[in-house]
Amino acid sequence: MRDSQKPCQHTLTDDAVYKEVVVIGNGPSGMVTSFMLAGNVPYLKEVPADLPIDDMLRARLENIPAGQSLYEADLSELAEGLEGRSQNPIPLLMDNLLRPCADLGIPADSLIEWKYDVEKQIDHIVLGRGPPGGAWHTFPPSVLTLSPAAWLSLPPYPAEGEGRLPARAVANYCRRYVQKCKLQRYFRSGVIVSSVRGAPRAGAPCAGACPHGARYVVSGYDKSCGRPFRILCKRVVVACGGGDRPNTLAPAAAPCALHSLSALQRALPTNIPNALDPPVVLVVGSGVSAADAVWLALAAGCRVAHVHRAPAPALARLDPDAYPDYTQVYKMMCDGPSGSHPSYTPYPRHVLAAAAPLSPRKPPKMADDEDFPKSVKLLDIVTNEMTELTVSIIAVLIGSKPDLFFLQTNFNLNCIDLNNCTKCTDESKHAAKRKIEDNRCFLKNHWHYFKTVLGQSIQSCKSRYLNYSEINGNDTKCIVPDCNKRMKECKCEVVPYSDPLENKIKCQCQPSNPYSSGIGFGIDPKVGVDCRGNPVAIDKGTHEMLYSPGLYALGPLTADNFVRFIPGGALAAVAHMHKERKNEWTGIC
């Protein structure tokens, strides 16, 4: 029985709406989840006898009754024993069905047929900071993807092109995907989600889609106008990706550096001083993003100084025929200073020790606002020798982490007593002259709006900019002058072979704010969430967070860093939602 056949008898306040599911993030994870929530149901096609898929998987697929959707199947049983490039079983299963024999290089049609079923619609909304596509819109348009086009497709529409695609092509594909699937009404772009809190229980729900059945309240605001919103929902899908917080260096060097490829590309044409000709770009990092930065700088006619500790094994595993750009960078890194490569100078086993702009202006601005060189000091971690360089741009690309500040909130503006605001009482005497209704001041008339926006802004700033000591009153001292002092016990040590007068001290205090790191949600709940080392702890069969019932995590948050594995996480979550809805409706009826 559909929810619409049993109307809800309860209403909400004017500033809140009810959705059964809220999806946070409008990248590929949010897009394919919306496609399934909109009523598109996967059914298994007949498996060709000559298709060389896993024998055990073939046997299990043959046992699925005719006409049964994958939402009703036992996905964990079907995925048992599968191996591949994902550590999650359901994404591996879905990848084997959507792209059978993909790793063998055998082109084969999908084994899944999608059918629209209005009875399977789940009312939802997808919230995103930018246009549909998420982070794909932030990459430089010319940067090529790691995955081929066939692995970047979302069901049921394939991506156009073959081989590796430019990032702009993927971003355009995401825009078209939402339109072709007719999902526009579910998407709300240009918004910031500031908190996800437990919803107060108001009573027993009267229907399947009743506000009284809400578990969470999702709050945020529109970036264009600042207007806040509140959404009551029963389930939340966290699909915000894993690149919102780039890893940075020491606080003394971080303000002079750029931390994204898009920022580097914007800086290359305009942020090149005349003092250095040709300009020098310092790239810090040894992974794929750092290799992209090297190519962007060389293509712009710059000299490149590449600081890295050791060549990344990930670059060594790439096929030279398919990835000639990364292979060339890896070769230059391995050749070291003895290699002869025009405009490229590697600094292996080095770290960036210090950086400062060469300008009389005080205080210095951020690096992307400056048009003058910077002085940097590079430390050889083997010989402890220091090298000084003058560079134009510093690009630090050493990985990133997700920003989960909206899951951890503790600030409350309700402690402010509006009745004690005497200024408002005095100003209310002149309310008639200002044509304000009810003879009340503007602040009183709009207090709820102001309180909501102010609270969300403080929460966002608190997680992104304030020190942990500023939030919790931690008075722990550290011997490093600019240490952020975010741990109860400071852990700092003097760097060996250093001059005490130069104060070379290695600080091991927590480098990131726990309000953004997602402490409590990872496999190890005592440390922050990392998309590779400590992903969000989930039920492998449903992708529901272990520590937060009703919250689901998809994509990079669960270590699925390739687009090809994202539909499997969405399938696991949506199938679990349908099974829970069926049980909930049975209980209500």
Pairing outcome for strands 187-189 and 228-238: unpaired
247 confidence band (pLDDT: 50, 70, 90): confident
Q: Say which DSSP state 200 is in.
A: P
- Identify whether 342 is preceded by a cis peptide bond (ω within 30 of 0): no
Name the fold adopted by 249-398.
FAD/NAD(P)-binding domain (3.50.50)
What is the rounded distance in angstroms from the CA atom of residue 511 to the CA atom of residue 17? 38
Burial, 496: exposed, middle or buried (Cβ in 10 Å; 0-12, 13-18, 19+)?
exposed
Domain locations in the chain as residue ranges: 3-39+119-243+519-588, 249-398, 414-479+511-516
Could you check whether 3-39+119-243+519-588 and 249-398 share the same CATH topology? yes
Q: Give ∠ CA 165-166-169 in degrees, rounded to 5.
A: 85
Residue 201 has which token pair?
């229980």
Q: Which has more confidence, 7 or 578?
A: 578
How far apart, in whole angstroms, are the C-alpha atoms of residue 144 and residue 28? 17
**Rounded CA gap, 401 and 391, in Å?**
27
Domain 3-39+119-243+519-588 adopts which CATH fold?
FAD/NAD(P)-binding domain (3.50.50)
| Res. 211: pLDDT tops 60 | yes
Tell me which residue of 262, 300, 242, 289 sits closest to 522, measured CA to CA. Answer: 242
Digit-coded pLDDT (tens) for 396-420: 999 888 988 888 754 444 443 444 4
- Could you give the CA distance from residue 262 to residue 264 in angstroms, rounded to a whole number? 5
441 contact partners, CB below 8 Å, separation of at least 6: 424, 427, 428, 431
Token couple for 18: 């009810």
Residue 138: which residues within 8 A CB-CB, separation 6 or more? 130, 260, 262
Cβ atoms within 10 A of the Cβ of 195, count?
21
Backbone angles phi, psi at 274, to 5 degrees: -75, -15
pLDDT digits (tens, 9 = 90+) for 93-133: 999 999 998 888 778 889 999 999 999 999 999 999 999 99
Please, what sign has the CA dihedral across residues 159, 160, 162, 163? negative
Q: Is the pLDDT of residue 270 over 90?
A: no
Maximum mean pLDDT: which of 163-172, 208-217, 580-589: 163-172
Task: Write out the H or E segment, with its range, that includes residue 456.
Answer: helix 447-464
CA-based radius of gyration for the chain: 27
What is the bridge-based pairing of β-strands 400-401 and 245-246? antiparallel
Instruction: Report helix, strand or coil for 41.
Output: strand
What pTM did the predictor assign?
Answer: 0.79
As given in the structure block, the two tokens for residue 36 are 């399934």
pLDDT at residue 213 in the model: 72
* Residue 67 token pair: 């006409």
Of 235, 261, 20, the residue nearest 121 (C-alpha): 20
Residue matched to tokens 């993807």:
145
- The average confidence (pLDDT) of the chain is 79
